[in-house]
């Protein structure tokens, strides 16, 4: 996937406005549009001839899309939500949200916006699609299943169920139904054949996940459904082999997940490859697994490789890993049986004979009222807050300590721990002695869940099971410095609003008086100066400061297609809907591919690389609703 060499976005040139230079020449270099420079279009009807309505052309578009994978890309402002004066109030309607959710249920869907990724996601409030913020400079890549280059999902769900389904059908004596009614035993009547087929069909359906079932729901016989599943998930095409081998080569074990679960994933990949006749030698399988070990288990690699001669097998590696995990789990078990500790405290025969305090014993009996320690819970001396009996409760088990002392030359204090019940609840200890939970075994497994965030170094949030792609990450410190200077420079311009979009900065002037346009523009330019690391662009009533890297929304589209495994496929159609100048880069990428539907949202004629048009977000809503409905009818 190559980067584009040019930006469609208009960059600033630094005009020299000294004295009373020609105003028209100054306006030609200005980013902020003036009324005298408004685009004078031809009629909208004639413009529609070149950019026909996507709604009027819907049936023709879907006819061409039949049998192909559709991927949907959407801008946010002006596309899913109306353009408003206050950018913080650019809310999408509930109807639009429902339409986007339904589209994302059937097609891979991504929103590519100039806003920060966190902000646009907060507006959309949907978790079943992908987000790219800062004009594609902050992408949360798909964390779901890899897709092969022919567009099929490389989830291989039915590969796991293949053996199970055949076993169930054999047990119910209806496995002959997989060959078709015509191939069933001749001694069966037509009614018996039909019953066997229905029984087999029901067994297959009950073993399939919902997503897989939607792909084959139209099939009415067991043989037809089995053949469709075989075509979708058991294909031996080069693309499918590439997809599965990619899963094997990129398989890595992680620290915070159980070894057994990860070995199961590895074995699944090996079995899937075997099911499509891809044979990998046992020793090679072992080496693949050794290369996938996390850092904490790297010593096993050396022990297994250098500790023996000859060959190594996959069973040996897996046995060593399971043994290591078993030892680790055993170490975590807590022995709460009683333990006796003898504590001997000697006393000098010369006690009291010396002069001064330095000859006095500093030892005190347990429970001595002179103890310096005081509980911050019950305010009684002699114990800490964590040992407070009131805090533990009357029915909770705690350590029972008995201490006996005798006077004499040698006195022995016998301390006996009779029982101990560790905290089982999750606690927040301000002293960090327990670090949220005292039992480490609670952290031995990891299950990915929706919700919850991890804060990155720049205090941006991302989901724990996702990794953002940020090609402009190195610019963040400089961007924050520009943001600080910009806030100080334009604070006196009424109506100007600065928006921190993570990897770019937007200066909105929709509510700025027209007489202040020039002043605002010059102040923004003064902050950038001649810094080659940044440049200025223009959007709809907004100026944007961006890093000088060859990356835009078009590159973001290519990145998503590559991540989805579709970059080299001809069996898919990208649909991109946007209204802004920055969306033109994405339109160009789709036009260059020669397949797909770039759709511009505009109620007035304009220069665009889009092939089709929609007038407003209201028509976008209709288009998305019809797209989801069309997909339903195809199932």
Residues 318 and 341 grouped into a single domain: no
The answer to whether residue 529 sits within a structural domain is: no
Q: Provide the pairing of β-strand 612-614 with 597-601.
A: parallel
Domain boundary among 394, 420, 438: 438
Strand order in the sheet with 138-140: 468-469, 138-140, 130-133, 109-112, 69-74, 572-578, 597-601, 612-614
Kindly indicate the confidence band of residue 466, based on its pLDDT and cuts at 50, 70 and 90: low
Is residue 627 over pLDDT 90? yes
The answer to whether residue 145 sits within a structural domain is: no
Using DSSP, state whether 576 is helix, strand or coil.
strand
Q: Measured between alpha carbons, how far is 398 from 276 in angstroms, rounded to an integer?
A: 59
> Please, how many CA atoms are within 13 Å of residue 131, restricted to the half-sphere of its CB?
23
Residues 342 and 414 grouped into a single domain: yes
Is residue 79 over pLDDT 90? yes
Domain boundary among 438, 461, 491: 438
Residue 234: the pLDDT is 65
Residues 376 and 418 grouped into a single domain: yes
Q: Are 74 and 97 in contact (CB under 8 A)?
A: no
Residues 259 and 320 grouped into a single domain: yes
The answer to whether residue 324 sits within a structural domain is: yes
Residues 325 and 382 grouped into a single domain: no
To which H or E segment does residue 587 belong? helix 584-593
- Residue 2 is classified by DSSP as P
The answer to whether residue 482 sits within a structural domain is: no
**Residue for token pair 């080569």:** 249
Residues 343 and 401 grouped into a single domain: yes
**Residues facing residue 345 across a β-bridge:** 411
Lowest mean pLDDT among 20-29, 119-128, 307-316, 326-335: 20-29
**Between these two residues, 187 and 142, which has the higher pLDDT value?**
187
User: From its phi and psi, is residue 408 left (phi > 0), alpha (psi between -120 and 50) or beta?
Assistant: left
Provide φ and ψ at 218, rounded to 5°.
-75, -20
- The residue range of the domain holding 323 is 254-265+276-332
Report field, pTM of the whole predicted structure over 0.75: no
The answer to whether residue 530 sits within a structural domain is: no
Least Cα distance to 450 among 80, 108, 125 occurs for 125
**Residues facing residue 507 across a β-bridge:** 498, 543
Q: For the residues 503-516, what does the mean pLDDT come to?
A: 90
Q: Which two tokens stand for residue 271?
A: 């079995």
Residue 235: the pLDDT is 61
Q: DSSP letters of 24-69?
A: HHHHHT-SS--GGG------HHHHHHHS-BTTTTHHHHHHHHTTSE
Residue 66: the pLDDT is 85
Q: Which two tokens stand for residue 448?
A: 């990915």
Q: Are 117 and 473 in contact (CB under 8 A)?
A: no
Q: Which two tokens stand for residue 227?
A: 């053949």
Using DSSP, state whether 512 is helix, strand or coil.
coil
The answer to whether residue 300 sits within a structural domain is: yes
Kindly indicate the confidence band of residue 17, based on its pLDDT and cuts at 50, 70 and 90: very low
Q: Measured between alpha carbons, how far is 344 from 107 in angstroms, rounded to an integer?
A: 74
Strand order in the sheet with 542-547: 497-500, 505-508, 542-547, 534-539
Residues 388 and 327 grouped into a single domain: no
The torsion angle over the Cα atoms of residues 563, 569, 572 and 574, rounded to 10 degrees, is 50
Q: What is the pLDDT of residues 371-412, one digit of tens each?
A: 556 776 777 787 776 677 776 554 444 444 444 444 444 444
Q: Measured between alpha carbons, how far is 52 from 614 in angstroms, rounded to an integer?
A: 8
Is residue 583 over pLDDT 70? yes
Residues 380 and 406 grouped into a single domain: yes
To which H or E segment does residue 556 belong? helix 553-563
Residues 299 and 324 grouped into a single domain: yes
Residues 405 and 343 grouped into a single domain: yes
Q: Are 609 and 592 in contact (CB under 8 A)?
A: no
Residue 634: the pLDDT is 77
**Between these two residues, 365 and 531, which has the higher pLDDT value?**
531
Q: Are 129 and 109 in contact (CB under 8 A)?
A: yes
The answer to whether residue 564 sits within a structural domain is: no
Q: State the sign of the Cα–Cα–Cα–Cα dihedral 138, 142, 146, 149.
A: negative
Number of domains in the chain: 3
Neighbours of 613 (CB within 10 A): 27
Is residue 579 over pLDDT 90? yes
Q: Are 69 and 151 in contact (CB under 8 A)?
A: yes
Residues 324 and 389 grouped into a single domain: no
Residue 396: the pLDDT is 44
Q: Are 613 and 607 in contact (CB under 8 A)?
A: no
Domain boundary among 407, 438, 469: 438
Residue 141: the pLDDT is 62
Q: How far out from the chain centre does Cα 544 lie?
A: 27
Lowest mean pLDDT among 8-12, 116-120, 167-171, 371-375: 8-12
The answer to whether residue 593 sits within a structural domain is: no
Q: State the sign of the Cα–Cα–Cα–Cα dihedral 119, 121, 124, 130.
A: positive
Residue 239: the pLDDT is 59
Residues 343 and 416 grouped into a single domain: yes
Residue 635: the pLDDT is 61
């Amino acid at each position: 996937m190559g980067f584009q060499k040019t930006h469609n976005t208009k960059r600033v040139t630094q005009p020299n406005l000294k004295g009373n230079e020609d105003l028209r020449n100054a306006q030609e270099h200005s980013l902020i549009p003036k009324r005298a420079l408004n685009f004078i279009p031809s009629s909208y009807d004639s413009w529609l001839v070149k950019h026909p309505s996507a709604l009027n052309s819907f049936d023709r578009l879907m006819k061409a899309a039949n049998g192909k994978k559709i991927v949907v890309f959407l801008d946010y402002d002006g596309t899913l939500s109306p353009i408003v004066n206050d950018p913080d109030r650019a809310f999408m309607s509930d109807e639009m949200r429902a339409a986007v959710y339904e589209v994302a249920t059937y097609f891979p869907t991504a929103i590519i916006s100039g806003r920060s990724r966190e902000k646009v996601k907060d507006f959309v409030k949907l978790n079943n699609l992908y987000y790219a913020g800062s004009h594609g400079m902050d992408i949360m890549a798909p964390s779901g299943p890899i897709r092969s280059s022919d567009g099929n999902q490389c989830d291989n769900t039915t590969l796991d169920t293949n053996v199970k389904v055949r076993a169930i059908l054999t047990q119910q004596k209806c496995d002959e139904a997989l060959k078709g009614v015509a191939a069933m035993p001749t001694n069966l009547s037509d009614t018996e054949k039909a019953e066997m087929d229905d029984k087999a069909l029901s067994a297959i359906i009950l073993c399939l996940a919902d997503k897989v079932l939607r792909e084959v729901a139209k099939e009415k016989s067991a043989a037809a459904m089995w053949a469709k599943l075989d075509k979708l998930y058991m294909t031996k095409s080069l693309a499918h082999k590439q997809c599965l081998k990619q899963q094997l080569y990129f398989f890595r074990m992680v620290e915070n997940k159980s070894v057994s679960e990860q070995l199961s994933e590895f074995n699944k990949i090996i079995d899937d490859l075997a099911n499509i006749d891809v044979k990998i030698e046992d020793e090679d399988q072992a080496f693949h697994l050794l290369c996938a070990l996390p850092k904490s288990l790297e010593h096993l690699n050396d022990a297994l490789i250098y500790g023996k001669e000859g060959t190594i097998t996959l069973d040996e590696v897996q046995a060593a890993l399971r043994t290591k995990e078993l030892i680790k789990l055993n170490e975590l078990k807590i022995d709460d049986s009683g333990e006796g500790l003898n504590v001997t405290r000697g006393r000098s025969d010369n006690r009291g004979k010396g002069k001064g305090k330095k000859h006095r014993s500093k030892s005190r009996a347990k429970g001595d009222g002179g103890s310096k320690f005081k509980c911050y819970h019950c305010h009684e001396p002699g114990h800490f807050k964590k040992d407070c009996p009131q805090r533990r409760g009357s029915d909770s088990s705690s350590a029972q300590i008995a201490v006996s002392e005798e006077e004499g030359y040698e006195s022995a204090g016998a301390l006996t721990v009779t029982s101990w019940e560790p905290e089982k609840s999750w606690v927040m200890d301000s002293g960090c002695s327990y670090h949220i939970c005292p039992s480490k075994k609670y952290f031995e497994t990891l299950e990915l869940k929706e919700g919850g965030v991890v804060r990155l170094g720049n205090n941006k949030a991302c989901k724990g099971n996702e990794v953002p792609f940020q090609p402009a990450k190195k610019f963040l410190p400089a961007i924050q410095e520009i943001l600080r200077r910009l806030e100080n420079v334009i604070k006196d311009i009424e109506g100007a609003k600065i928006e921190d979009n993570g990897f770019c900065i937007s200066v909105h002037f929709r509510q700025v008086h027209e007489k202040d346009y020039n002043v605002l523009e010059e102040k923004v330019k003064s902050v950038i100066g001649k810094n080659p690391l940044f440049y200025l662009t223009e959007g709809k009533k907004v100026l944007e400061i961006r890093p000088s890297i060859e990356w835009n929304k078009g590159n973001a589209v290519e990145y998503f297609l590559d991540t989805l495994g579709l970059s080299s496929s001809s069996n898919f159609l990208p649909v991109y809907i946007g209204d802004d100048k920055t969306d033109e880069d994405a339109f160009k990428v789709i036009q260059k591919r020669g397949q797909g539907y770039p759709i511009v949202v505009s109620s007035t004629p304009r220069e665009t690389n889009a092939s089709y048009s929609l007038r407003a977000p209201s028509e976008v809503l209709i288009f998305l609703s019809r797209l989801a409905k069309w997909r339903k009818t195809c199932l």
